[in-house]
Chain A
């Protein structure tokens, strides 16, 4: 896994896709994004880690769906008309993995500048610092750029089935 904690700045700029998760604005490098899908039926995978608890059919392949809200302790929200799956391509230990990320709303592709970006704040957040690559200020608001590799590093293992309940 390449260390993606550094953002590939191009002349101190980077193109990102911004989206909303429970009221917070997140951003991903635009070159990671394959496709934005409208709502699809999800299939729950019993026993899977809650972060990636279901799968969807993406162009004939079965890909996992991840809910970043769980990594950041945000309140889960039901699906709405604005909900989308952002399909991204991740490089995991030399293997290309497609993952669908849930988003409450997809905003736009925009440019972040290096000058406006800061490392994760040391205080003032409940979020795990290593899950954040940087926080960018824009129009008086904050945009969170998550560290997907770090977040998904825990996804390989099963949490075990619910087990028979008697």
Chain B
């Protein structure tokens, strides 16, 4: 971490600040009078300006300064945060993002003019490069013994930064050779290039208490000094850099994701080694070994939990980005769109969240562009003119369900069908159920829009969405009601690496059932066993639960155990019983992927290594439950 480029650290920080500004601005659109939001924007712009200048992003700092000044005046009540102003500042964010990446897209001047115009419209005088603003060059040098007297130069520099954009250069010419340095003496001087709207007196005030012991010159800036400065602009002292980079949120550090992955792998190995230890200690009846094994089991499980929580981030991170998207979509399509989100606190693995961004962007675009009608059409069909796009997340068992829905026209099945016939995906006149027709949307090269709009309709969408989600071991469901809207549900497994599992035996094979989907275990009584030849249901607290005999599903050759058990599993909505020969106990399961040779088998989501070095397969509960339901339907039909 210590060797990384400081500019990269800044880029990450700037990205976060810009996201934060964007959110606050969007909120401000809805609540124009909110002083807290104005202050948030101001503070974030201020930080951006400060760190930008520190890391040599001069253009960025200057730009942020203008926006900051605008919000400073809003904060002071001089101008109102009109929608025009908010919109104009929002417009500058992309330019700022480009500047953070070191690209100049040449739109800066126009954008600033727009902010300026909006300011004027909002009851104030434009501020960009207003006449009251001036550049000052300040040189100051403290006396040698000033540190001993308790004078601290850094707060002075900070105070100057408060005044405007500040570029600080250390004057190191008076530092003596190392062996004659007295560590209590101050050899440094500073030259500060300050752009401020404050008068000279304000600058002098900063130095009020040190004026006796400092050599200070404050003079209007001249171009000559500017040229000199660019040559040594990057020579801020290391000490200053250190203080500045600390100014992130307190107590949080950034760690590269690969390190977390590495740590996660180690934890995985530890968990496997621990279960071997547990097995050995179970066979040797040594009380000491036993207590150590238990201790290690507890530690490993705690370590695993904290490791998981380190990787989990709230999904609000992702949802935040989409508000801007919807804002832009509304403008481009001329629709008014109400964007609602819920369940922002739902947590998911960070790598999963990152991979969800693109599919969700696509789904939201589809909802806004294809799904929602124009205001005129909506009015004609008796709907509220404002269309709604809803994005929600919730946890159900070991899955997170993210759904994108709209209250638009729904998916026109006949059009989907016509398109599929035209593209040769189905033969003309083929019989398809509604849900089968909907599935066609996920075929590569499918798109229903006649014209290719700027937003969607290039036909590269839904198949990519489906593939990405399946890559995360998730599933995509789509449903639609004509005239009432459509909904896409993404079901994503919560964790990628380690789960708690229930280890069971079926015939010779051992299998892991994810513990999060296990509801209860009951015995399969002989009576049920016999009766279920005709129907595979058991009655559980007055509810019929279908069950699957894993022995039959897995074609085990050996005879069944005398007392078989039923593990009742659930996917959140449906329950199914799984008949197994023996329940072996709980098992911390490190998920290992199955190779491509076995990737096509949906019944298993992966494999794990057991304490004895053997391999157990992990059951994919949603697929098993789906299989159970088909079985149930088949049986019902047979009756």
Contacts and interface: CB of A to CB of B under 8 A. Distances in A.
Contacts of B615: 41, 43, 55-57, 62
A92 interface: yes
Contacts of A165: 552, 555
A92 B596 contact: yes
Nearest to B272: A60
B184 interface: no
A62 B592 contact: yes
Nearest to B557: A44
Interface stretch (A27-35, A74-82, A125-133, A153-161): A153-161
A95 interface: yes
Interface stretch (B97-105, B427-435, B491-499, B601-609): B601-609
B89 interface: no
B596 A164 contact: no
Contacts of A123: none
Interface in A52-69: 52, 55-57, 60-64, 66
Nearest to A93: B596
B252 to A, nearest CB: 33
Given A43-B617, A45-B617, A60 B609 contact: yes
Contacts of B553: 46, 161-164
B616 interface: yes
A55 B599 CA distance: 12
A64 B102 CA distance: 48
A47 interface: yes
Given A43-B509, A61-B592, A165-B552, A48 B597 contact: yes
A43 B614 contact: yes
Contact of A44 (B269, B508, B594, B606): B508
B631 interface: yes
B549 interface: yes
B598 interface: yes
Contacts of A43: 509-510, 607, 614-617
Given A45-B601, A92-B596, A57 B552 contact: no
B600 interface: yes
Contacts of B563: none
A65 B554 CA distance: 18
Given A55-B615, A57-B613, A164-B553, A48 B598 contact: yes
Contacts of A95: 596
B105 to A, nearest CB: 36
B552 A97 contact: no
Given A60-B272, A92-B596, A164 B552 contact: yes
A35 to B, nearest CB: 15
A60 B594 contact: no
Given A46-B553, A164-B553, A158 B616 contact: no
B597 A156 contact: yes
A72 interface: no
B3 interface: no
A5 B508 CA distance: 39
A99 interface: yes
B600 A158 contact: yes
B451 interface: no
A161 B607 contact: no
B595 interface: yes
A49 interface: yes
Given A57-B614, A164-B631, A46 B597 contact: no
B292 to A, nearest CB: 23
Nearest to B630: A164
Contacts, number: 101
B132 to A, nearest CB: 62
B525 to A, nearest CB: 20
B597 A52 contact: yes
Contacts of A161: 553-555, 601, 603
A95 B603 CA distance: 23
A62 B593 CA distance: 7
Interface in B582-634: 592-604, 606-609, 612-617, 631
Contacts of A56: 615
Interface string B539-558: 00000000011001111000
A64 B613 contact: no
A40 B598 CA distance: 19
B549 A164 contact: yes
B277 to A, nearest CB: 16
A60 B269 contact: yes
Given A43-B607, A44-B508, A97 B269 contact: no
A62 B554 contact: no
A7 to B, nearest CB: 24
A161 B75 CA distance: 67
Contacts of A40: 613
Contacts of A162: 552-555
Contacts of B555: 46, 161-162, 165
B601 A64 contact: no
Contact of B600 (A46, A64, A97, A157): A157
Contacts of B603: 46-47, 161
Given A44-B508, A46-B554, A162-B554, A55 B607 contact: yes
A162 B549 CA distance: 12
Contacts of A66: 597
B506 to A, nearest CB: 9
Contact of B598 (A55, A57, A98): A55
A70 to B, nearest CB: 13
Given A60-B269, A162-B555, A156 B613 contact: no
Contacts of A46: 509, 553-555, 601, 603
Interface in B201-225: none
Contacts of B607: 43, 55, 62
Contact of A48 (B552, B601, B612, B631): B601
Contact of A55 (B508, B510, B594): B594
Contacts of B616: 43
A97 B596 contact: yes
Contacts of B598: 45, 48, 52, 55, 64, 158
A61 B265 CA distance: 12
A45 B553 CA distance: 12
A164 B601 CA distance: 16
Interface in B56-93: none
4 A-B pairs closest in CB distance:
A162-B555, A46-B554, A158-B600, A43-B615
Given A60-B609, A164-B548, 14 more contacts: A41-B612, A43-B617, A46-B509, A56-B615, A57-B613, A60-B272, A62-B606, A62-B608, A64-B597, A156-B596, A156-B597, A163-B553, A164-B631, A165-B555
17 contacts: A46-B555, A48-B597, A49-B597, A55-B598, A60-B269, A60-B609, A66-B597, A95-B596, A97-B596, A99-B597, A152-B597, A156-B596, A156-B600, A157-B600, A158-B600, A161-B555, A162-B554
